[in-house]
Amino acid sequence: MIGLKAVTLTLGSQAGPVEILKGIDLAVGAGETVSLVGPSGSGKTSLLMVIAGLERATSGQVSVGGVDYAGRSEDELARLRRDSVGIVFQDFHLVPTMTAQENVAIPLELAGARDAWKRAAGALDSVGLGHRLTHYPGQLSGGEQQRTALARAVVAKPSILLADEPTGNLDGQTGQHIIDLLFSLRAENGATLLLITHDPVLAGRCSRQVGLADGQIVKDNQQTAAVA
Amino acid sequence: MGDWALSWRYARRELRSGLGGFRIFLACLALGIAALAAVGTISADLLTGLQRDARNLLGGEVDLRLFNRDLTTEERAWLLANSQAFSATAEMRAMASDPETRERRLVELKAVDKAYPLYGDLQLEPPQSTESGLELRDGAWGALAAPELFRRLDLELGDRVKVGTETFELRGEILSEPDSAARAITLGPRLLLPLERLEAAGLAQPGSLVYRHWRLVLPEGEPFADWEARVKAAFPDAGWRIRGLDKAAPSVARFISQVRLFMTLVGLTALVVGGVGVANAVRAHLDSRRDTIAAMKCLGASGSFIFKLYFIQVLLLSLVAIAIGLLFGGLAPVIAAPFLTDLFNIGLGGPPDVLPLLRAAAMGLLTALLFALLPLARAQSLPAASLFRGQIDMRRMRAPLWLWPALLVIAGLLVALAVLGAADQVFALGFVGGAAAALLLFRLAASAVIWGARALPRPRHTTLRLALSNLYRPGAPTVGILLSLGLGLTVLATVTLIQANLSKQVNEELPKDAPTFYFIDIQNDQVAAFDSLVEGFDNATGVERVPMLRGRITAVNEIPVAELEIPPDSAWVFEGDRGLTWAERPDPGMQLTAGAWWPEDYRGATKVSLSDELAQELGLGVGDSLTVNVYGRDVTAEIANLRRIDWQSLRINFIMVFSPGLLDKAPASHIATVRIDEAGEGALADAVSDAFPNVSGIRVRAALESFTRMLDSVAAAVGATGSVTLLAGLLVLAGAIAASERRRRYDSVVLKVLGATRPVLAGGLALEFLLLGLVSVLIAAVIGGLAAWVVITQVMNAEFSLLVAPLLITLGAGLLMTLVFGLAGTWRALGTPAAPLLRNE
């Protein structure tokens, strides 16, 4: 489902180029749940960005759902995300000037779905926000905003779900609720989940844990298991 | 006081980061102030120049003008005895020809005596005195002509030119003429001849259209008013027009005042449009300071402290904008002087007048306050809790109650400044009212657009949906853009339609039966020969000929004109001599609206047929009386009937047609119109000129072209000011786009993350601006059309046609500029890379 071979990422900075990812090899199968763990600055978010097609690998091969990213235009990658990838961010990244329902409907509307509006309402209902359809993000609590973002990520039934510390800005109880929702929604569609987290308990809920340090994979319990 | 001092300190601290975020604020305000200041200083410079050069322009300290009559011996003796210096001239239109090629050209003839000019210099090439240029030398009298005449007749210095029956030697080119203020309509180049040869050339005959002027220098120490009273007492019935230095060029002064009024009002509109930009900029600034405001409130700052802090900033920025605007306005006369000096024949480019600068500064400050106070007042109500809750729409904050009366007072002061200084206060008030109504209409339209975009069923097409939702989302700049762009386009549409209508009427709308020629100065003894000559041309039709002399209305119902209250629209009728005629029978197509025509053989007390339009304006009817001074003699006539006049027919029309009897004894010339096809034009003009050297043929089309040229230069000036309004509108658009750039970048990144392609995003933006532009253009077309209709039909009393082509071109260009500006401003948002914005490591 997701395949990375010898992927490197080097970004320019005022102090000179910085190597963020250093030869990542990773293969994730369909329906797998993978947690990405590691200290701040280890390259977790960058890896997620590369997989989402939001950042281009400096070298190496990236393929998602059988689509090789090499030579693909920005717009082709956008269409791939629209159809196959759902993303949840720590900072929610809702469009502040759109209502909850409008936010959730975006991927469906971009795909030209006739029932986008109805399905967006359904998705919000499924995360317990059926009564908040016309509210703007500013009128929602943090937990509600993340639930809206979650509904938006899953509404188009993507085959891959990417989540970047989805509970990082939430209190423990709300965070727990969001994670429960994330896992149950994933289970409904059988989507592949890649989850960045600092929480070992949460990482433990995934079938596979991948550890990153200094831009390299330092731990992958699937490989460990295979070797064992 | 302590509060203000602290606010001042905080305000300064905040501004330390520079004025970069206020570029649009400064540009919007400075542009309007510069336009107003420039119009003010340039017109003040022109009016001051008129005063300063009054002696040159008038040709003396007093100008006495008589129509086709020389001074009597008594009058001459009196004037000589009561002046320090004295000069006589005569002005008329005549035909000048090259005796060899027989090429001819209508000229504006001025015959001058040896004392001319009393003031100023007649600049000639080669340099010489007027006297030597015109004197009798080797058997030939001299003539001086404008370069245009040399060019048109292909003549050189030393060549001969024939005027009337006399031939003159061309001795110099006139480079500048001191006593010729801008004349609205000139039908030909200037030709100067010696006055003593006017009669000999057969030009000044009884009834010829000759104006004679006597310019003199007042007796030492005698004020003009005293002198005027004495001359009037000495010759109460002379019938001359007397002008002193205060009226050296009244029509030019009036023209400048009227153009100034119109341009000031258009400039004010630009300022108001800029005001929308000011409001947007202040709102954006306060939005970006939302956290600061909330944090300060958390730390104990009061609402009024917050208000003062940002009020001081707005004041400081306004002062910077005012300084920039005044700098441009102050330099404007220096920049414009080279162009205007030639046009108006007055010395320009002195130090700028302070009053118009102060006025522009005051208007700028009031506009800034008018538009900045609302967002400032709302910011003071921002709750501290907003620090913890994002996206509180500042526009939903309740404004304090004191705000509304304060805004009313500021708006009132602004209107007062615009209206009280205006030459025509009713027009100015009408303009301000119209502009306010247009502003309100655009505001309502903006609400309707927002409501409509929200209420429409969500379209399936992604691009259209994006565009529509961009129009009504919280914080969408729809209102500001529609207001500013709409007003700018409205002014431009109005100016375009007025200009196009006038050009059309002058150029294209020549009625089918409009004459080709006017022939003037046909003498009584030439009438029969003239008629038969014209009859000899088979293709000459529509020949009309009437006797004509000139006279001035001196009393209405026996009340002297000076004691009458004359409505401004009719003032022109009383300001100079009017053409008069008499007739036994009514013209076949004549339409009487009141009273009856006199019997054909009527020879009783003089009666007059009056224009019904003029009668209505003056409140006159059948049975009232008019007194007209003709050749120094007052003739009182009872109004027998009222007549409708169609000026646009271009036929011979007279405001006053008298019954025969008294006037037909006065010396008069005849005026004739002839219609002839283009092939016959030249032959007819030659034949008439050969047979009657004193008769001048005026081509109607050439006269209209001269009129069009004058209109075009006014239209260019007004159009330029109108463009400033559109530029202000585009600046506001640019400001609104800049203010929303952060939001647009963020939105485009999030939408891209969710799968939106660049064509979809770009299409959404293009459609958004297209929709805004289209609504602005449509409303601008309606309001602009209405405003142009009012100006054309009510102010200019002409016929209005809705000329779609120029309107479409202007508004189409406006729409295109909106699109280009909009897309150029937002294009960067589309290219924003997603990762940096989303990264939270």
What amino acid is encoded at A149 in this protein? A
SS3 B330: helix
d(CA B835, CA B833): 6
Closest CA to A129 of A115, A150, A113, A110: A150
Neighbour-count burial for B333-364, b at 16+ CB within 10 Å, e otherwise: bbebbeebbeebbbebeeebbeebbebbbbbb
Nearest CA in chain A to B474: A97
Nearest CA in chain A to B759: A75
Q: How many other C-beta atoms can be found within 10 angstroms of the C-beta atom of residue B328?
A: 17
Rg of chain B over all Cα atoms, to the nearest angstrom: 33
d(CA B206, CA B822): 69
Instruction: List chain A residues with CB under 8 Å of B475.
Output: 97
**pLDDT tens digits along A75-119:** 788 888 888 999 888 888 887 778 899 889 888 887 888 888 899
DSSP per residue, B172-204: EEEEE-TT-PPPS---S-EEEEEGGGTTTTT-S
**pLDDT tens digits along A31-55:** 999 999 999 889 998 899 899 888 8
In angstroms, the Cα distances linking B151 to A8, A144, B103, B478 are 81, 86, 12, 58
Q: Judging by beta carbons within 10 Å of its beta carbon (0-12, 13-18, 19+), is residue B167 exposed, middle or buried? A: middle
DSSP per residue, A3-16: EEEEEEEEE--TTS
User: What is the SS3 string spanning B765-780?
Assistant: HHHHHHHHHHHHHHHH
A46 touches chain B (CB under 8 A): yes
Cβ–Cβ under 8 Å, residues B465 and B458: yes
Instruction: List chain A residues with CB under 8 Å of B391.
Output: 96, 136-139
Interface contact flag, B460 A112, Cβ < 8 Å: yes
Neighbour-count burial for B535-561, b at 16+ CB within 10 Å, e otherwise: eebeebeebebbbbbbbbbbbbeeeee
In angstroms, the Cα distances linking A154 to A105, B153, B267, B817 are 11, 88, 56, 42
Rounded to 5°, the CA angle A184-A188-A194 comes to: 65
Paired residues of B193 in beta bridges: B111
d(CA B692, CA B332): 51
- Residue numbers in chain B where pLDDT is lower than 50: 1, 389, 840-841
Nearest beta carbon to residue A95 from set B747, B760, B835: B747
Q: Judging by beta carbons within 10 Å of its beta carbon (0-12, 13-18, 19+), is residue B440 exposed, middle or buried? A: exposed
- DSSP E strands in chain A: the ranges are 2-11, 18-28, 33-37, 59-64, 67-68, 85-88, 160-164, 192-196, 208-213, 216-220
Instruction: List chain A residues with CB under 8 Å of B476.
Output: 97
Nearest CA in chain A to B740: A97
Instruction: List chain A residues with CB under 8 Å of B754.
Output: 81-82, 106-107, 110, 152
| pLDDT of res. A228 | 34
Instruction: List chain B residues with CB under 8 Å of A152.
Output: 754
Question: What number of CA atoms fall less than 13 Å from residue B390's CA on the CB side?
Answer: 14
Interface contact flag, A54 B838, Cβ < 8 Å: yes
Interface test with A, best of B391, B395, B841 (most A CBs within 10 A): B841
**pLDDT tens digits along B450-483:** 999 888 887 777 788 888 888 888 778 888 888 8
Q: How many other C-beta atoms can be found within 10 angstroms of the C-beta atom of residue A222?
A: 16
**pLDDT tens digits along A132-142:** 999 988 889 88
Nearest CA in chain B to A78: B755
Nearest CA in chain B to A152: B754
d(CA B123, CA B413): 49
Residues of chain B whose beta carbon is less than 8 angstroms from a beta carbon of chain A are 389-392, 458, 460, 462, 465, 469, 473-476, 743, 746-747, 750-760, 834-835, 838-841
Q: CA B826, B830, B831, B834: dihedral to nearest 10 degrees?
A: 130
Place of tokens 């800034």: B368
| pLDDT of res. B551 | 83
Q: Judging by beta carbons within 10 Å of its beta carbon (0-12, 13-18, 19+), is residue A13 exposed, middle or buried? A: exposed
| Assembly ipTM | 0.74
Structure tokens at B793: 């039909």
Closest CA to B708 of B187, B346, B177, B338: B187
Nearest beta carbon to residue A78 from set B465, B756, B840: B756
SS3 B543: strand
| pLDDT of res. B389 | 47
User: What is the SS3 string spanning B331-346?
Assistant: HHHHHHHHHHHHHHCC
Nearest beta carbon to residue A54 from set B389, B751, B753: B753
d(CA B449, CA B778): 13
Cβ–Cβ under 8 Å, residues B313 and B379: no
Place of tokens 């989302």: B473
Comparing A147-151, A220-224, B361-365, B524-528, the range with the smallest average pLDDT is A220-224
Closest CA to B116 of B126, B127, B131: B131
Nearest beta carbon to residue A75 from set B462, B747, B757: B757
Cβ–Cβ under 8 Å, residues B658 and B625: no
| pLDDT of res. A142 | 87
